[in-house]
Amino acid sequence: MYRFLYRHLLSRLDAEQMHGAALRALAVTGAVPLGRALLRSLFAPRCDPSLRVQAFGLRFAHPLGLAGGFDKDGVALHGLAALGFSFIEVGTVTPLPQMGNAKPRLFRLPEDRALINRLGFPSSGMARVARNLRRRPAQPLAISLGKNKATPLHAALQDYRAALERLYPYGDLFVINISSPNTPELRNLQRAVYLADLLAGLRQALEAQDVAKPLLLKIAPDLSLDEITTICVLALQHDISGVIATNTTVSRPSGLRSTAARQIGGLSGAPLRSISTEIVRHIRQVTAGKLPVIGVGGVFSGADIWEKLRAGAVLVQAYSGFVYEGPSLVRRAIAELRQIMAAEGVRNLSEIVGTA
């Protein structure tokens, strides 16, 4: 139904306007118990103990969460949770409100099952997001932190630290986003010269808190494997809890068919799938599993979840898959995952992490 609607109607509408309408619909439906019950009955997956994941000191009903960027301000969390995502990443949130880049800045590549975006962290800012998060769903909530565009790189730590401290009471895990391609120079923070100081400063900020919560780094897919190894070494040195691999890519894999492939920005969706899976595998190998990975990039199905888990991810996330598959993504992908587990004789997901 969603695929039919998407092909014949939704794909003709402006991508960012459609996204706003979907968020508003989820916010309204998710605001009342009856609406949530309806969403759950229509879309939430059937879960059982074999799908449960324990990671970062938290419990997840199954491995599929919603990736950062879909609900940047945390306005539709109850609706999104009722669709069955086992965790949701809010943000990226910047300390001060900012508009992001000029429109148009979000493009569909339907022939490639992909998106290109150059949003540039539009954010209501941390104070507003903190208010939005006062009533949050029960599922584990990750909060993605960014820096304002106007903040120079050498002052980035202050931005991340301010957002971490302001939002700390509201999240279960925190993500340092240093990998968006749409904020000038941001990805330079992944270089060892900047990263060591950033991580040391954030570790200090965490230690000043009463309750310990996990802090993860989200990395780009456009780094060399050596650069990723260096990041992992630094992350382990600074006691970072895990890595999210990966953000969108500025590369354009050969064979893209859609006209929008020429747009500037980060590419996500099917063409990113194997690139990010290989990075998950690399991190798992070079850290001997000591740095848990959340795998993201091109997850549309149970087979895609299976692939990322086998490569070494403990959890996975989707964004583009949700746009293309619609609200039944989680139910369908988790049903497919259960079928694969049954066919392979796997009784618990922890048996397969990193076995490929």
Residues identified as active-site: 180
Separation CA 254–CA 311 (nearest Å): 24
69 binds ligand FMN (CB under 6 A): yes
Residue 140 tokens read as: 């584990």
35 binds ligand FMN (CB under 6 A): no
Separation CA 61–CA 44 (nearest Å): 11
Instruction: Kindly state the smallest distance separating residue 93's Cβ from ligand FMN, in Å.
Output: 9
- The three-class DSSP label of residue 293 is strand
- How crowded is residue 345: how many other Cβ atoms within 10 Å of its Cβ? 7
Instruction: Kindly state the smallest distance separating residue 179's Cβ from ligand FMN, in Å.
Output: 7
287 binds ligand FMN (CB under 6 A): no
329 binds ligand FMN (CB under 6 A): no
Residue 154 tokens read as: 């050498």
Q: What is the DSSP string of 27-57?
A: HHHHTSHHHHHHHHHHHPPP--GGG-EEETT
H helix and E strand count, the chain: 12, 13
Instruction: Kindly state the smallest distance separating residue 69's Cβ from ligand FMN, in Å.
Output: 2
296 binds ligand FMN (CB under 6 A): yes
177 binds ligand FMN (CB under 6 A): yes
Pick between residue 106 and residue 346 the one whose CB is nearest to ligand FMN.
106
298 binds ligand FMN (CB under 6 A): yes
268 binds ligand FMN (CB under 6 A): yes
Q: Which of residues 29, 86, 94, 117 is near ligand FMN by CB under 6 A? A: 117
What is the binding site for ligand FMN (CB under 6 A)? 67-69, 72, 91-92, 106, 115, 117, 119, 144, 177, 180, 218, 247-248, 268-269, 272, 296-299, 318-321
